[in-house]
Chain A
C-alpha cells in the first residue's frame, strides 16, 4: 500500500497541456539510475491523465502496476500514483484533502500559472509520507478500524466477565456451605452448653 507520487496540476479543459503546480515523488524503490526516468515518467503520465479528466470528475486509470487516481475540481487537478492495494476511496479522500490544503495555502494564484512550478511544496512531501497508510487519509477507514478494535476488546471483556461470573458462582456456593456448617456447629454447641449447665 504505497503512494509513489502526488501531483497537483492545473487544467481547465482547454487545449494547452496541464501545468504542474506541485510535485512530490517517492522514487526510492527504483534503483539510483532509474529515478530520474521514473520521475519523468510520472510527470508525463500525470499530464496525460489530467488532460483526459474533464472538470469536476474523478477518474482511476490502471497503468502497468500503478493506479493513477485523478480528481479534477474546477480546474485544479490532483493526481495520485498508488499501487493496487490502496483503497480507491481513501485515495480520493486524500486527493480531496490535498486540494483543500492547496487552496488554503495558495488561494487562487495558481490560476495564473503558465509554466511548471518547480518549487517543492513541503505539505505535499509530508502528505506523501504520512499517508502511506490509507487509514490516515480516510477518516472512515480510521473510524472503522477503531471500532473493530473496540469490538475485539469488548469481546475479550465479555469473556472475562463470564469467567468472573463463574467464579462468583463458586464463591456463592462455598459461602452458603460455610454458613450452613457454622449454623450447625453453633446449634450443636448451644445444645452441649445447655447439657453441661444442666449437669452442673
Chain B
C-alpha cells in the first residue's frame, strides 16, 4: 500500500520537479550546472528512491535469508554440541561449523549496519512518505533483533560445548587417574630413562656427567639388579649394600612364593572338597536307584512265587484232570467192553 502511494507520489513529483528544474534553468544561469546536476541528481535520487527501496528490500531480504540460514546452522551446531560423547567427538565438524557461523554472523552484522546507514540516508535525502521511513526502520530493527537473537544462540551453543568438553575432561581424568596409578611402575622405569636422556642431553659440563654416572648405578640398584650393575668406579661398600638388599629381597621373594603356593594349595583343597561332596550326592542317587530296583525285583519275585504256588497247588485242576481221565476210562471201557 505504502509502495503504491510512494510510487504515485514519485510519479507526481517528477512532473513538478521537471517544471521546477526548467524554471531554475531559466532563472539561474550561473547556478544552472549545479542546479542541473542537483536537479539531475534529484530526479535520479527520486527515480532511484524506488531503486533504493528495491535495493533496500533486496538487501533486507538477503539479510533475512542469511539470518535464517545462520539460525539453521546454529541449530545443527547445537545438536552436535549436545551429542558429543567421549569417543567419537566431531570436533572438526564443530569447529568448522563455528567458524562458518561466525563468518556469517559478522557478514550479516556488517550488512545490517549498511542497511541501517542506507535507510538513514534514504530517510534524510528523499522526500518519501513517513510510511516508507517507518517501514524501513521497522524492517531494519527487525533484522537487527533477529541477528541479536542468532548471536545469543551462538553464544549459548558455545558455552554448552565448553561445558561438555569440561565434563569429558573430568571423565577422562577419572579414568586416566587410575591409569596413572597403575602406570607408576612404568613411571619408575621411565624416570631413569628420562634422567638418562636428560643426562645425555646436558653432557658437556663435568658435574652433570658425574651426576649421571653416580645416578645411573643408583637406578639399577633400585631395580634390584645386582648382578648386572654397571661397574664404573664402584667402591666395595656400594657393592655390599646392594648385596645385602638382594639377599633380603631374595628371601622376601622366596617367602612370597611360598605364600602363594600355600594359597594355591588351599584353592586346590577346596575344589577337591566340592568335587567329592558332589560325587557323594551321586553315590546317594545310585543307592536310591538300587533300592528301587531291589523293591521291584522282590515284588516281581513274590508274584512269580504266587504264580508258582497257584500253579503247583491247584486242586481244581487236579479234580478236573481226574474227571477227564475217569471219563475217558469210562468211555474206553464202555466202548471196548
Contacts and interface: CB of A to CB of B under 8 A. Distances in A.
Interface in B58-78: none
B250 interface: yes
B251 A189 contact: no
A190 B296 CA distance: 11
Contacts of A157: 272
Contact of B286 (A162, A171, A185, A186): A171
The A interface, classified by DSSP as helix, strand, loop or mixed, is helix
Given A144-B257, A168-B279, A196 B307 contact: yes
Contact of B310 (A92, A168, A185, A196): A196
A183 interface: yes
A144 B250 contact: no
A141 B258 CA distance: 9
B9 interface: no
A175 interface: yes
A38 interface: no
Contacts of B293: 175, 178-179, 182
Interface string B255-297: 1011001101100110110011011001101100110110011
B289 A151 contact: no
B306 interface: yes
A151 B275 contact: no
Q: Interface size class for chain B?
A: 35 or more
A38 to B, nearest CB: 27
Interface stretch (B46-54, B147-155, B240-248): B240-248
A130 interface: no
B230 interface: no
Nearest to A190: B303
B300 interface: yes
Contacts of B310: 196-197, 200
A158 B303 contact: no
Among A151, A169, A176, A179, find the residue whose CB has the most chain B CB atoms closer than 10 A: A179
B278 A150 contact: no
A56 to B, nearest CB: 9
A154 interface: yes
B236 interface: yes
A161 interface: yes
B273 to A, nearest CB: 10
A148 B265 CA distance: 9
Interface residues of A, number: 44
A58 interface: yes
Contact of B268 (A88, A141, A154, A162): A154
A165 B279 contact: yes
A50 to B, nearest CB: 14
A164 interface: yes
B242 to A, nearest CB: 11
Given A89-B251, A169-B282, A176-B289, A59 B268 contact: no
Given A60-B243, A200-B314, 5 more contacts: A58-B247, A140-B254, A162-B275, A168-B279, A189-B307
8 contacts: A143-B258, A151-B268, A179-B292, A186-B303, A189-B307, A190-B299, A192-B307, A200-B316
Interface of A: 52, 54, 57-60, 88-89, 92, 140-141, 143-144, 147-148, 150-151, 154-155, 157-158, 161-162, 164-165, 168-169, 171-172, 175-176, 178-179, 182-183, 185-186, 189-190, 192-193, 196-197, 200
The 4 closest A-B pairs by CB, nearest first: A182-B296, A175-B289, A179-B292, A189-B303
